[in-house]
């Protein structure tokens, strides 16, 4: 096949493109991804996140998984948010993170996590993280969905058309 630029536009969502060539003739590159091995730029906001899903990692397509790398400067915050289509497990790779969630009875479950510890956030529950250590911190989040969705509470409330 000479034309290796064939793509199919999904009718379900305009943001996902499937490569026909990758589907028909997969290589090891379709099943590996190195885009999150280095920290993101958190210099201006003290927070950076990089999502890895089937849009950038074709080998994960249809497997029902995705991940995110979150890097925090000192005092950096990942604002309260929820994922409408996925449960998340957050694994602390480096630093000290104050991490928690709010259940459906408005009870807060939170504690400081250190390197090597994990916390689970159930689908649809508001959760948050903040770097409370003296240096940078990194979390690797894994999801049980290739498209977990993301609703940041501040954006949803203050970025909406409330009048």
Domains annotated on the chain, with CATH: 1-25 (no CATH), 33-158 (2.60.120.10)
Give every strand in the sheet of 151-152, ordered side by side. Answer: 108-114, 96-102, 126-131, 77-82, 151-152
Structural tokens at position 31: 């099943």
Q: What is the DSSP letter of 154?
A: H
Q: Residue 6: which H helix or E strand, with range?
A: none
Q: Which residues are annotated as a binding site for Mn(2+)?
A: 83, 88, 127
Q: Which residues are annotated as a binding site for oxalate?
A: 78, 83, 88
Q: Which residue has the tokens 């899903």?
A: 53
**What is the chain's pLDDT, residue by residue, as a tens digit (163 residues)?**
444 444 444 444 433 444 455 667 788 888 899 999 988 888 888 999 999 998 888 888 889 999 999 999 999 999 999 999 999 999 999 999 999 999 999 999 999 999 999 999 999 999 999 999 999 999 999 999 999 999 999 988 888 776 6
Which tens digit of pLDDT belongs to each residue from 91-113? 999 999 999 999 999 999 999 99
For residues 111, 113, 117, 121, the Cα torsion angle rounded to the nearest 10 degrees is: 50
CA distances from 38 to 2, 18, 133, 152, 159 (A): 35, 26, 20, 24, 31
pLDDT at 22: 60
Contact 42, 76 (CB under 8 A): yes
3-state secondary structure 41-101: CCCCCCEEEEEECCCCCHHHCCCCCEEEEEEECCCCEEEEEECCCCCEEEEEEECEEEEEE
Q: Which residues are annotated as a binding site?
A: 78, 83, 88, 127
Of 50, 55, 4, 51, the residue nearest 27 (C-alpha): 4
For residue 114, the SS3 value is strand
């Amino acid at each position: 096949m000479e034309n290796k630029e064939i793509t199919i536009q999904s009718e379900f969502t305009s943001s996902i493109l499937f490569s026909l060539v990758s589907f028909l003739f997969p290589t090891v590159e379709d099943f590996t991804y190195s885009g999150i091995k280095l920290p993101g730029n958190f210099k201006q906001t003290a927070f950076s996140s990089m999502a890895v899903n089937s849009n950038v990692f074709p080998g994960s397509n249809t497997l029902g998984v995705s991940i995110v790398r979150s890097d925090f400067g000192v005092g950096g915050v990942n604002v309260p948010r929820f994922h409408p289509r996925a449960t998340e497990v957050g694994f602390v790779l480096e630093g000290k993170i104050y991490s928690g969630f709010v259940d459906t009875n408005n009870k807060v479950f939170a504690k400081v996590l250190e390197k090597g510890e994990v916390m689970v956030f159930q689908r649809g529950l508001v959760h948050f993280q903040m770097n409370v250590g003296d240096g940078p911190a990194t979390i690797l989040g894994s999801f049980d969905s290739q498209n977990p969705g993301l609703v940041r509470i501040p954006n949803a409330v203050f970025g909406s058309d409330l009048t």
